[in-house]
Amino acid sequence: MSVLAAELGRLREANLYRSRRILEGRQGARPVIDGRSLIAFCSNDYLGLAAHPALIAALKRGAELYGVGSGGAHLITGHSAVHHALEEELAAFVGRPRALLFSTGYMANLGVISALAGRGDKVLEDHLNHASLLDGALLSRARLSRYAHADPGALRRQIGHDRARLIATDGVFSMDGDLAPLPELAATAEHHGAWLMVDDAHGLGVIGNCGRGSLEHFGLTDAQVPILVGTLGKAFGTFGAFVAGSEELIETLIQRARSYVYTTAPPPAVAAATRASLDLAQRETWRRERLRVRIQRFRTGAARLGLPLTASETPIQPLIAGSAHRALAWSRHLENRGILVTAIRPPTVPEGSARLRITFSASHEEAEVDSLLEALSELPQEDRGI
């Protein structure tokens, strides 16, 4: 244990130690954290649905009908009628023949890649993909090759004359907020006879006129992107994940995805709440419009201040600090002003790119966006990279 203590000490000295905060009460744009009311600009509750009364009511009704726990894996006794109904509704939402629920997005990515690729196969992934996509390739024991971020040319060079089994990418990158060049990736996948897998965790519900994500944004079909992964704990405000695709894909995952076969199904009451959130996300289009307005207000104000934002039009607006020490100092400054934005540091992001990962919700008021800008304006100019 002394070895572990030494390593923890090293993390503290390097400003890389992570600590949990205690949320009291409901999730939302104005949570109570460690006993203090703050304005949060770091949640993934993009549409402001996590504490919506309709979801809470649906969760209660679901618990009354189905109980609390699912009691077993989907393939034993855990696959309830409400799970099945949600899968059908998710498939219809994204325009795919079928969808399959997973307990988490991490488990979905592990399950898909390890079920579809193995020894002797080649899997290519964006260098900035989410850890779950990278871990899925490692678990599969396929040959993993990582191409330069959002660079289709680098992807083509790395494929070379090899036969690629799978190309996997985030749709919206979780730390940078930019979109993958999906049309070019789809063309490359088709040319090389590979499957393209898109994890659209941060796009679904938010991107596209109907909220169907980055594939809708680019007008891509299920033939071009045969494997779509989405999560339910971000824009949809609940918990879990799903994979959508062909009949053959879903049946293969039911047979071979270990993270689906060998785990307890999610609570059916959560599936009931997700059905309510999916309905709201489709009907209440004003949520996406209001979110876009908030993002644009922030980016316009940030440009006036000379803040070095990345080229993101999504709710994820990174402010690059560089060092972990500086990112922590920025985060503390904001918290002293009543604003919560956590510092993101290595290994979550590459060395030298520690940042504030500022995120927006449809629940934010214009005045709160202005308060954030005012607090950021108080950073010393040399500390803003100006």
Residues marked as catalytic: 174, 202, 234
Structure tokens at 201: 């965790």
- Residue 11 to residues 8, 345, 347, 356: CA-CA distances in angstroms? 5, 11, 11, 19
> 359: part of which helix (H) or strand (E)?
strand 354-359
Neighbours of 233 (CB within 10 A): 18
- φ, ψ for residue 98 (rounded to 5)? -145, 165
Contact assessment for residue 67 and residue 51, using Cβ atoms and an 8 Å cutoff: no
Q: How far is CA 312 from CA 9, 175, 176, 353, in A?
A: 36, 10, 7, 16
Q: Using CA atoms of 206, 321, 324, 364 in order, give the dihedral in degrees to the nearest 10.
A: -40
Angle CA 63–91–95, to nearest 5: 150
Q: Let me know if 351 is exposed, middle or buried by CB neighbors in 10 A (0-12, 13-18, 19+).
A: exposed
